[in-house]
Copies of this chain bind each other. A is one copy, B any other.
Amino acid sequence: MATIKDVARLANVSPSTVSRVLSNSSRISEETKRRVREALEQLDYHPNVFARGLVTNSTGAIGILIPPSMNQFFVNPFFAEWMSGVSEVTREHGVDTVLSTSARDEEEVVDRMVRGRRVDGLLLLGTRPGDPVLRRVSDQKFPAVLLGRPADPIPVSWVNNDNVKAAHCATKHLIDLGHRRIGFLGGASEMVVTIDRVTGYRNALLEAGIEPDPRLEVSSFFLEQGGYLGMMRLLAMSDRPTAVLASDDVLAFGGMRAAAELGFRMPEELAIVGFNDIRLAELANPALTSVRVNMHELGVRCAELLLKQIESGSPAYISEIVDFELVIRYSCGAHAAARNG
């Protein structure tokens, strides 16, 4: 494997000159540049990323920290679409992305990434109150951007939807359709996103003069199976809901499977609204009404914000809110006829 020295020798210049050509320094004669480039080509030289990183103190990579509880996130289209937004930006900037899923010791992986200087900045997600990872990253004053708002008053940049407002909007939609008894099907209850969405749900209820019933709020894990189980619980109640707001489309899918198995007709006997508007939402039967949170856009904004932060070196904490939109299809019953037979 050719090193910079080999190139220098072949081109009859010093290593620093090669280095200068590599970084396209202005004050190098055209003639030398040519010679060096030729040698570069001939030896098929490529700079050792680590050696360079060691001296420049930068890595050309950002990290994504996936909390242990979130391995499911991989298989949730939500995460994938967010990632595709992130990746779009990093690709443009020629930056690599280091994925790190932590096992038991969440903080160990932060240390490896941050203090071990493996990456220049961190993208965080799925935070919850008391999150040790967020705390640690913030303490280190390491460039980082959080997807979602921080649960605790911790200084950090973040990008989020207004989940309270979004859940309020979706719930109000169901109320406007005449529902009074509305269930909430949530993911992990300790997660900020769940907390915010249940808050919006309750707010809408209260606003309409409906007393929130804790029994109508079920929460499980962020998987299809979780939605299935949760819906089973809801539908088993004697005073069961006539409509359900799911905190995630995959959860909604699971809920719909449960409802279908029990013979409920949707949306006539049970209206459903999901969250995130994954691509497959349109394909559910009936097509799922969902809150589009623009996951791809969230990914783009997260990555851009982080890259800007790294580049500028400024310690400013910025937060951004991405718009949402209620996409009305058939599962909520707003349209007279269901599309599928």
Binding site for B on A (CB under 8 A): 1, 44, 46-51, 53-54, 59, 61, 66, 71, 74-77, 79-81, 83-84, 87-88, 90-92, 96-103, 111-113, 115-118, 224, 253-254, 256-257, 260-261, 263, 265, 279-280, 282-285, 339-341
Contact = CB atoms under 8 A, between A and B. Distances in A.
Given A71-B84, A84-B74, A284-B283, A100 B97 contact: yes
5 smallest A-B Cβ distances: which pairs? A285-B285, A46-B115, A74-B84, A49-B116, A50-B50
A324 B339 CA distance: 34
Contact of A98 (B50, B61, B92): B61
A279 B283 CA distance: 14
Contacts of A53: 50
A interface majority secondary structure: helix
Given A44-B115, A48-B117, A98-B98, 9 more contacts: A66-B87, A74-B81, A75-B77, A77-B80, A79-B80, A90-B101, A92-B103, A96-B99, A97-B99
Contacts of A75: 77, 80-81, 84, 279
A182 to B, nearest CB: 23
A126 B225 CA distance: 30
A265 B49 contact: no
Contacts of A80: 74-77, 79-80
B253 A280 contact: yes
A270 to B, nearest CB: 13
A339 B83 CA distance: 35
B47 A116 contact: yes
A300 to B, nearest CB: 13
10 contacts: A46-B115, A50-B117, A71-B87, A77-B77, A80-B80, A97-B100, A224-B279, A257-B283, A285-B285, A285-B340
Nearest to A256: B283
A210 to B, nearest CB: 30
A73 B87 CA distance: 12
